[in-house]
Amino acid sequence: MDSGNQKCDLVDYLNDFPSREMLEEIIKKSGRPVRDFIRTSEPVYSTKYAGKKFSDKKWVDVLMKNHILLQRPIVVKGDKVWIARDAETIGEILG
């Protein structure tokens, strides 16, 4: 994909989910808590995980079993990672 002069690769995380190691690296690079990567609006979250107080390791286990719960889009650019769900974040990435 080419956005102006910014080139990027698109990864369909639902069909090409990252390895546990890659997911942990993405989360670490972001500097954000693993809970920020959980889509709490998904029905599987509401029925199985809402209100749970898991460790980061356990939340990664949950993501590895329930790919639909991974927030997206996630943008990785060098050593930076964003959860790009709003125009302000996208502007920061492209800016």
- pLDDT tens profile 2-58: 445 666 667 788 888 999 999 999 999 999 999 999 999 999 999 999 999 999 999
CB atoms within 10 A of CB 85: 13
* 86 contacts 94 by C-beta, under 8 angstroms: no
pLDDT computed for residue 2 by the predictor: 43
**Predicted TM-score (pTM) of this structure:** 0.83
Parse the chain into domains and list their residue ranges: 2-94
Helix (H, G, I), strand (E, B) or coil at 80: strand
According to CATH, the superfamily of the domain at 2-94 is Glutaredoxin (3.40.30.10)
pLDDT above 50 for 1 = no
- The more confident residue out of 78 and 60 is 60
* 80 contacts 95 by C-beta, under 8 angstroms: no
Question: Which amino acid, one-letter code, is at 87?
Answer: A
